[in-house]
Structure 1
Amino acid sequence: MSENLFAGDPQPQDSGDEVKRDFKGLLGSGRRFLSDLLEIRSNTDAAATKESIIADIPFKGHTSWILICSIFIASIGLNANSTAVVIGAMLISPLMGPILGMGLSLAINDIDTLRRSLKNFAVMVVLSVVTAFLFFYLFPLRDESSELLARTKPDIRDVLIAFFGGLALVIARAKKGTIASVIFGVAIATALMPPLCTVGFGLAIGKPEYAWGAMYLFIINTMFIGLATFLVVKFLRFPMVRYANSQRRRLIARVASVAGIAVMIPAGITFYQVFQESLFKKQAQEFLRETIEVYQFSTSGRYVDNLTKLEFRDGETPLIELVCMGDELIPENVINTWRTQKNEYSRLQDAEFRILQGGRDDSEEKFNYVSELYEKNKAELLNKDEQIRLLEETVADLTKNASKRIPFGNIGQELKANYQNVNQMGFSYQLQTDFKKTDTIPVFELKWDKNVRKKQRETELKKINDWLKIRLGDTTVVVKEVEP
């Protein structure tokens, strides 16, 4: 019996070794599976890829005319706010060639290809901007459509789209038997053409801030597509260009390395900046959800969320600006509480917090309100003439009402200090018409002490009437006497 027991002792050790072998086999199978799934070097044709990228670099003849036509199509699509037309223009545009050429040449130390790529890249940018400028300058309809304005300020998503779009494009170009659908998809996703069209639009209408914002977006796309190309070519180990002169080879290697670093540093800085901006806006939106969006107005006030302004200004104080409409003002103690809550967010502590409401900063509020009114009603308007008429009438009404706003409390104090016989004052607006036009007249009603004689009342009533017209700058002011 004891022999059987000792004979069975090695069994647990054998079982443990078997588990280890199974586990190692599982890991090996997993590694082989991932290797087969993600490995791309074996199916890469480096020579054909290099040849096809270099062939797409030049801009001359047919390629130039294709670029001009695609710029016109994209400009029309942006002007008409048509996403479908813009996508069609991006499908035929040959903008990727010089950018891929720059990334490839830096990765393989090909200084001649880098020189050609830079020259053709400059030609591409100038030709595109000039074409877009001429279109928007000569075309009579130059609306600031949402498709155009969307290209004036990049964010973190544009950086990520450009980088991963560039990765997908180079990987597709490197595959034996290029995947055309990927190339078309990247052309749409990275959206190189619309920013160049927007640069021309900004210059044509005299708004350089639009042009700079769009050019900044284009530069970001260019840098990260080029960076993605550089990294993929390095990863796939494309053969380096060899030079017979060893001194020249070393010089070119240094130049290529410096140029590659020069691209990566601003790309990294740009990524950091737009990432910081996205974090600022994320915290600002959380702050708004916890404050103004849950605030309950008791009467006629309301928060206009689509006029909220969140500005992250590099090197300057960030801004959070809210707009509230209506006669009800948010109490100062509530605003101070919100400012304290704002400081609880690490990225909002230095931000300026501003609320436009009621009678404060009336001009800003008024024109923001006109903008909101336009956006709300434009889908219901029949044509552009109707839009213009509505806006003109709205601005005129708001301007007229703002100019006739009466500082009732101050007027009452001044009146009582100068005319002690008045013991009550009332005020209202009165509609008046001569059946040709209707106007709003400010009317004051005065109630006198009982012991004031009629002649004295008439004299002082005239003085008060003249004083109010001068004091308010309104010759239509009417002062009436109410029987005591």
Structure 2
Amino acid sequence: MNPEENIEKKKEAVKKDAQGLWQSVKTFLVELLAFREDTDRDATIEAIKNDIPFKGATAWILICSIFVASVGLNANSTAVVIGAMLISPLMGPILGVGMSIAVNDIDVLKKSLINLAVMIVLSLLTAFLFFKFFPLGSQETSELLGRTQPDIRDVLIAFFGGLALIIARTKRGTIASVIFGVAIATALMPPLCTAGYGLANGNIPYFLGAMNLFTINTIFIALATFLVAKILRFPLVRYANSKRRKRISQLASLAAIIVMIYPTITFIRVLKDSGFENDYNTFVKQEIEPNNELWFQKGLLNPEEERITLFFNGEINEATESDLRNELKSYKNIRDFELIISGNKNRSFDKISDAYDRAIEDLDERDNIISGLQKEIETLREEIDLINQKNNSFSFSSIAKDAKIRFNDLEYFGYSKMLTSKDFIKIDTINVVSANWKKSLNDSVVKARDKQLLEWLKTQIKLDSIVLKRQ
């Protein structure tokens, strides 16, 4: 066998191995993701039909869950809101709408829509009464505000949550934990409670925003149900009358088209708004915040009017404004937005810098003044001591300190020179010491202390004649 034939055989062997590997991977993926064989279509349809009726115990469960969710929103407690979602029977009519359209069952569709309408009205009424009469019903918590403006994430959560729910319902032996997780993720309860809050407080934008979020969740859950039912080939409802069957099929198709219009428009609008928001946040983060000289306060994005307003805590010069406008054009979704820059001219950067420099100079000047005053005080103290030493041959402050150290019971000490005259002609000068002792000492001890003090003073100030007086 020549080398060329050997190489060709090896190539063929590699191709066969690659084909075998790909076929193995394909088979593995098909077996991993296939769920049609594990579907109980008749039991799923029957279970969804049984969950559609909305009366009796189901209505009371809904009322209680609405109250619990309203309390959780009012108290800003995520745990309480989740607890309310777990006990809420909201999924039945919504799954019924999607399933009935998929199988052309007009009777089930009517029943589902009627029960869904009753459910919405009862939920709104319950939430309205709670927020209208509860003492703290007017508080706007983050849990409430988070349900007033849907975005692209809410659309995705509703659709994929609905897919998980209907796939779980079609499996033989329903996966309860998955259904609970979908109930939490799709969050049908909080929007209805927030809409009731908006009605109770006369806040129409809150009401419309919350109902928009609820509608998005509802339609995308129904859409997911419709798609899964079609993929799993749920059997269509058969009618004896061919004309009636054709008319029902046309009505179901029309309903499916109508249902698809709103979520499609909503998805496009929300996706567009999300693009605006992402570009705006990137613009602020990359073009404004890194510039320390720009004292940025806040910005407002207005997609409806295609306007961006930036507020600065200082004056923005023309060169900076021009640069920001040019940078804005590099962002695809907001390049055509009008950029409005609002600066505070009274607190421009240059003026604030000058004020800062002046403040530093004032502080330095004050420090110099304080230092000079301290030196003057020390000089005056020295001069006083010199005067005392000159007039009295001793420093009074030193004598007073030594006296207190030597005589612990001494509470007051004073010294002065007093002019006296016995014949009112000749004037004499006498040294007078004033002293007070602790009141707890008896008279004999006080007299002894007086004597000791006088003797000590005579040795210290070198004076023979000293008069002691009580203060």
- Which TM-score applies when normalising by structure 1? 0.69
Query: Does residue 346 of structure 1 match 2:332?
Result: yes
5 Å-filtered alignment, 1:16-415, equals: 16-141=11-136, 142-297=138-293, 302-305=295-298, 308-313=299-304, 317-325=305-313, 328-358=314-344
Q: Which amino acid aligns with 2:306?
A: P
Distance 1:20 1:171 in 2: 38
Query: How far is the alpha carbon of 1:58 from its aligned partner?
Result: 1.2
The number of equivalent residue pairs is: 346
Which ranges of structure 2 fall in alignment gaps of 5 or more residues?
A: 348-471
Q: Determine helix, strand or coil for the equivalent of 2:289.
A: helix
Structure 1 distance, partners of 2:322, 2:5, is 77
In structure 2, how many angstroms separate the alpha carbons of the residues matched to 1:340 and 1:18? 60
**Cα offset for 1:320?**
2.1
Q: Distance in 2 between matches of 1:117 and 1:18?
A: 60
Distance 1:341 1:17, change over 3 A: closer
- The CA distance in 2 between the partners of 1:115 and 1:144, in whole Å, is 37
Identity of aligned residues (%): 57
Q: Which amino acid aligns with 1:100?
A: L
- The separation in 2 between residues aligned to 1:126 and 1:206, in whole angstroms, is 17
Report the structure number with the largest CA radius of gyration: 2
Measure the CA separation in 1 of the matches of 2:148 and 2:73: 13
The amino acid of 1:43's aligned partner reads D
Deviations 1:213-269 (A, max 9, x none): 111111111111111110011001111111111111111111111111111122111
Residues 15 and 128 of structure 1: is their aligned pair in 2 closer, same or farther, counting only changes over 3 Å? same
Query: Cα offset for 1:163?
Result: 0.5
Please give the alpha-carbon distance, in whole angstroms, between the structure 2 residues aligned to 1:276 and 1:9.
Answer: 59
Partner Cα separation in structure 2 for residue 291 and residue 185 of structure 1: 41
Distance of 2:274 and 2:69 partners within structure 1: 28
Please state how far the C-alpha of 1:349 moved relative to its aligned partner. 2.9
Amino acid of the structure 2 residue aligned with 1:52 = A
What displacement does 1:26 show? Answer: 1.2
Alpha-carbon RMSD across the aligned residues, in angstroms, is: 1.9
- Quote the offset at 1:339 in angstroms: 1.9
Following superposition, the deviation at residue 332 of structure 1 comes to 3.9
Render the CA deviation track for 1:185-217: whole Å, top value 9, x for unaligned. 000001111111111111111110011011111
Distance 2:345 2:133 in 1: 42
Quote the offset at 1:294 in angstroms. 2.0
Partners of 1:359 and 1:196 in 2: how far apart?
46
Specify every segment of 5 or more residues in structure 1 that has no aligned partner in the other structure, as ranges.
363-484
- Separation in structure 1 between the aligned mates of residue 81 and residue 122 of structure 2, nearest angstrom: 18
Return closer, same or farther for 1:134/1:359 CA change in 2, 3 Å cut-off. farther
| 1:463-478 pair list within 5 angstroms | none
Q: How far apart, CA to CA, are the structure 1 residues paired with 2:209 and 2:103?
A: 33
- CA distance 1:318–1:40, shift in 2 (3 Å): same
Alpha-carbon displacement from aligned partner over 1:22-70 (angstroms, at most 9, x marks no partner): 2221121111101110000000000111111111111100010111111
Provide the secondary structure at the position in 1 that maps to 2:334: coil
Q: How does 1:450-461 map to 2 (within 5 A)?
A: none
| TM superposition score normalised by structure 2 | 0.70
Q: Secondary structure at the match of 2:37?
A: helix
- Three-state SS of the structure 2 residue aligned to 1:304 is strand
Provide the rounded CA distance (Å) in 2 between the counterparts of 1:279 and 1:336. 24
Deviation, structure 1 residue 10: 4.6
Most deviating of 20-29 and 202-211: 20-29
CA gap 1:118/1:10 in 2 versus in 1, 3 angstroms = same
* Mapped partners of 1:13, 1:96: distance in 2: 62
- SS of the equivalent of 1:282 reads helix
Structure 2 Cα separation of the partners of residues 61 and 86 of structure 1: 23
Q: For 1:28, give the aligned amino acid.
A: Q
Instruction: Tell me which amino acid in the other structure corresponds to 2:177.
Output: S
Change (3 A) 1:10 1:241: same
CA 1:71/1:355 → structure 2, altered by over 3 Å: closer, same or farther? farther
